[in-house]
Structure formats: structure tokens, C-alpha cells
Amino acid sequence: MNNKKVSVLAKQHRAGWIYLMPATLLLAVMSFWPMVNAFLMSLKTGSSANMQWNNPIINNYLRMQQDKLFIRSIGNTFLYLIIQVPIMLVVAMLLAQLLNNKDLRFKGLFRTCVFLPCATSLVSYSLIFKSMFATNGLINALLVNIGILKEPMNFLGVPSTAKVVIILALLWRWTGYNMVFFLAGLQGIDYGVYEAAKIDGASSWQIFWDITVPLLMPTIVMTGIMSINGTLQLFDESVNLTNGGPANSTITMSHYIYNASFGTGTKNFGYAAAMSFVIFIMVAVLSAISMKAGDKRD
């Protein structure tokens, strides 16, 4: 019997590996090999037709330390990250809390309205915001008509206001997306827990902070990691809203990498690959910090 049991387990073990093999091969060919190849490329210089090893081999990584525009793009990207991500996650959580109310009427309609921006194309919504905040756009017309502005303002032509427009666009586009995750997490919490807390005399704030937030921590960590990952790779808004301007004051890391690879002037795929690996390391480090901060297990 023991031999037969071992034989069955061995067959199941082999079958598991056989079923996993196609997906493993696809991941290796489509994901891991390109990553290895990109790292090797980051140690080279020149265009794709004539790439040579750097001398010294880490020259691209040394060059980044002296590249003021790349340093500026890092600063811009982290500015968007520090301001936009916390606001977005807090608003998304509060919206989910409101829309999870069992006594709320037309919940489906409200949920759909909040989520609809996510169905909008990245390019389309960027162009819409660009037209809205143009000098002759809707926002200027409204602000002038109600007396807040005496004359139209060039929102996209001033570095500070251009960054604000990008942050507002990101909030509009992605808040509803994260709200869905929080809503799913809230619906997984037994409503009896809230009823028991109310019977014990807990206030609405105490229920939210001491019950909802701890039980939603896995969802908070997941949405935080996704938001950090997405913001560090921010591209469409920088390209379509401001084109990195004025004077590269709103350019992001991904936008700068694109310019180094395919933009005007000298193209250097090796340098672009090196900058991409810096983003990869940033995402990995910040994700690890988020997971560690959100892990409350003893």
C-alpha cells in the first residue's frame, strides 16, 4: 500500500510540473529573458544597429548621476507619487465606505459613475484635460465668469500649475479604479462586526479606524503597491498633457526614457535600458517597504 501511495503521489507531482511547464516557459521567454537582455543592453552604448560594450562597463549608470534632466524627472515623478497616491487611496477608501452602505439607494448607479473614468482611454482623457485647462478652455471660462480670475491663465504653461493639472488628472482617472478594490474588501467583512461595535458604543470614527482599516490592510497594501508601480512608470499624462513642459518641468522618468530611445536627437538604447532598471529597483524597494509596513502578523 505504501509503495502504491508513493507511486500515486509521484505521478501527481509529475503531472503538476507538466501542467505548469507551458506557463513557466512562456514567462521565461516573454518576461525573464527580456529582463536579462535589457540588463545586458544597459551595459552597452550606441543604437541597436551598432551597440558596443561600455568602457567602463557601468558607464551608463555613472552617467545618470550627472544627468540633471534625469534627476529632474525623478523629482517630478516622486512629487506626483507623494501627493497623488495618498490622496487617491484615502478618497477611494472613503468612497467605498459610502457606497458600501446597505441602506443607500441607487448604489449601482453611483458605483458605475465613480468607476466610469477608468473606462476612458489614457490618451483620450489626457487630451480632454488638456483642452479643459487650455487658455481658452472650459476651466478658464468658468473661473473668469465667476470672478476668481480676471483673465485666462495658462495653466499648462506654468510649471507649478501644470503639475497640479497632471495630479488632478491622475486622481480623476484612477480613484474609481482603486475604489473597486476597497469595495470588494469591505464586502468581505461580516456586517455583524459593525453591529457588535455599535452595541458596544463605538463611534463611527472608531469603527472606521479600529475595525475597517485593519481588516482592509491587505487591500490597502495591494492598492498601494499597484499605485506606486503605476506612478513610477507614469508616461501618458506627461506626454499628452504637457509634453514634459514647460522646459521639461513636468517630465517623468518613463517619458525621459522614451525620449532617449525614440525621441529626437541621438538615440541610446543602452542608456535608456539602464534608466529602466533604476525604475525597476525603485519599484521593488518601495513595494517591499509597503509590504513590510502592511504586514501586521506576529
CATH number at residue 275: 1.10.3720.10
- Say whether both 213 and 69 belong to one domain: yes
Helix (H, G, I), strand (E, B) or coil at 45: strand
pLDDT in tens, 85-144: 999 999 999 999 888 887 788 888 888 888 888 888 888 899 999 999 999 989 999 999
Q: How far apart are CA 44 and CA 285, in angstroms?
A: 25
SS3 content of the chain, % helix, strand, coil (to 5): 75, 0, 25
Grid coordinates 480670475 are at which residue?
149
Q: Does 10 fall in a domain?
A: yes
Domain count, the chain: 2
pLDDT-derived band of residue 251, with 50, 70 and 90 as boundaries? very high
pLDDT in tens, 277-287: 888 888 888 88
Taking 90 as the threshold, does the pLDDT of residue 165 lie above it?
A: yes
Q: Is 146 exposed, middle or buried (0-12, 13-18, 19+ CB in 10 A)?
A: exposed
Helix (H, G, I), strand (E, B) or coil at 52: strand
Q: Does 49 fall in a domain?
A: no
- Model pLDDT, residue 110: 87
232 near 283, Cβ under 8 Å? yes
Q: Does 50 fall in a domain?
A: no
Q: How far apart are CA 256 and CA 260, in angstroms?
A: 6
244 near 159, Cβ under 8 Å? no
279 near 78, Cβ under 8 Å? no
- Say whether both 146 and 16 belong to one domain: no
For residue 217, give the nearest of 284, 115, 292, 282 by alpha carbon: 292
- Say whether both 144 and 202 belong to one domain: yes
Grid coordinates 484635460 are at which residue?
129
- Cα 65 from chain centroid (whole Å): 25
Domain boundaries, position 101: 56-294
- Say whether both 115 and 238 belong to one domain: yes
- Say whether both 129 and 193 belong to one domain: yes
Q: Does 60 fall in a domain?
A: yes
- Say whether both 31 and 74 belong to one domain: no
pLDDT-derived band of residue 298, with 50, 70 and 90 as boundaries? very low
Q: Does 47 fall in a domain?
A: no
Grid coordinates 457588535 are at which residue?
196
- Say whether both 2 and 125 belong to one domain: no
Q: How far apart are CA 260 and CA 273, in angstroms?
A: 9
Q: Which residues pair with 53 in a beta bridge?
A: 44
Taking 50 as the threshold, does the pLDDT of residue 65 lie above it?
A: yes
- Model pLDDT, residue 167: 95
Q: Does 51 fall in a domain?
A: no
Q: Does 124 fall in a domain?
A: yes
233 near 47, Cβ under 8 Å? no
- Say whether both 124 and 5 belong to one domain: no
The residues near 168 (Cβ < 8 Å, ≥ 6 apart) are 129
pLDDT in tens, 18-62: 888 888 888 888 888 888 888 888 888 877 677 888 888 889 999
- Say whether both 12 and 134 belong to one domain: no
Torsion of CA 178, 218, 233, 36, to 10 degrees: -140
- Say whether both 187 and 117 belong to one domain: yes
- Say whether both 171 and 108 belong to one domain: yes
